């Protein structure tokens, strides 16, 4: 089992052993596991958007998983054998592939849903209803793209720091760079340039944020 609390308990027990056996030596306290923090931050951030990306990803996968009849009909309608990928609920950042795949085959899924409704052979399932609701959102594709591209920004950090190498001295600079790269997507350049600290930028203040262009 792994997780922030497990890691902190291990650190506490190890420090207790060091104090007893090695004259008070202590390990450097760097806080909770940065990998879990990044994972949970991404999960929280995407949840705050209320975009319902995760229900769509899960439902689109479940709609065709273990259903040969639906898969066959999908292929007959679209001519494609490319189906949605599964969503991992415990490692959100690793779902970039699932979101990219969903965006790539969105037109096929939409065609399947439309033809199924015409044939009056609508699956009576929560997954189908969730997919239908998501497809009614005209911004679904850019939302999926935002999800996957954000996950791609976070992936290198997770890959680099999931290591036994002594890379703790680089942690601060890498986290600062990671946060800066993410904030560049939504915060005005002049605000980032003049800010004394990234964490003190008020992202709730619309004056600090990049305005979405009308389309």
Percent of the chain with pLDDT over 70: 96
Q: Average the pLDDT over each of 62-66, 71-75, 165-169 and give the range with the smallest value.
A: 165-169
Distance CA 110, CA 192 (A): 40
- Res. 76: pLDDT tops 80: yes
Please tell me the predicted confidence (pLDDT) of residue 2.
59
Cβ neighbourhood burial of 206 (10 Å; 0-12, 13-18, 19+): exposed
Residue-averaged pLDDT of the chain: 89
CB 183 within 8 Å of CB 209: no
Query: pLDDT category, 80, cuts 50, 70, 90?
Result: very high
Note the pLDDT of residue 28. 75
Q: How confident is the model over 115-144, as pLDDT tens digits?
A: 999 887 788 899 999 999 999 999 999 999
Residue 208: predicted pLDDT: 95
pLDDT at 105: 97
One DSSP character per residue, the chain reads ---HHHHHHHHHHHHHHHHHHTTT-------S-HHHHHHHHHHHHHHHTT--HHHHHHHHHHHHTT-HHHHHHHHHHHS----PPP--SS-GGGGHHHHHHHHHTHHHHHHHHHHHHHTT----SHHHHHHHHHHT-TTHHHHHHHHHHHHHHHHHHHHHHSSSSS-GGGHHHHHHHHHHHHHTTTB-HHHHHH-S-GGGS-TT-GGGBPPPPP-
For residue 187, pLDDT over 70 is answered with yes
Predicted local confidence at residue 26, as pLDDT: 81
Cα 150 to chain centroid, rounded: 7
- For the entire predicted model, the pTM comes to 0.81
Confidence of residue 40 (pLDDT cuts 50, 70, 90): confident
Mean pLDDT, range 16-33, rounded to an integer: 80
Lowest mean pLDDT among 98-107, 153-162, 173-182, 190-199: 153-162
Which phi-psi region, left, alpha or beta, contains residue 52 (left: φ > 0; alpha: ψ -120 to 50)?
A: left
């Amino acid at each position: 089992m792994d997780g922030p609390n497990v890691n902190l308990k291990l650190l506490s027990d190890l420090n207790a052993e060091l104090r007893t056996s090695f004259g008070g030596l202590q390990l450097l306290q760097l806080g909770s596991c940065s990998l879990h923090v990044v994972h949970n931050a991404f999960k929280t951030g995407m949840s705050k958007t209320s975009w319902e990306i995760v229900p769509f990803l899960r439902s689109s996968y479940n709609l065709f998983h273990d259903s040969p009849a639906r898969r066959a009909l999908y292929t007959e309608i679209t001519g494609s054998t490319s189906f949605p990928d599964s969503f991992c609920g415990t490692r959100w950042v690793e779902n970039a592939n699932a979101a990219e795949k969903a965006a790539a085959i969105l037109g096929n899924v939409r065609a399947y849903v439309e033809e199924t409704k015409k044939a009056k052979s609508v699956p009576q399932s929560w997954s189908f209803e969730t997919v239908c609701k998501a497809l009614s959102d005209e911004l679904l594709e850019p939302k999926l793209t935002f999800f996957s591209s954000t996950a791609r920004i976070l992936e290198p950090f997770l890959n680099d720091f999931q290591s036994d190498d002594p890379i703790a001295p680089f942690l601060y600079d890498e986290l600062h760079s990671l946060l800066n790269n993410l904030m560049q997507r939504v915060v005005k350049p002049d605000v980032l340039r003049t800010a004394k600290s990234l964490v003190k930028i008020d992202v709730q203040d619309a004056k600090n944020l990049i305005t979405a262009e009308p389309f």
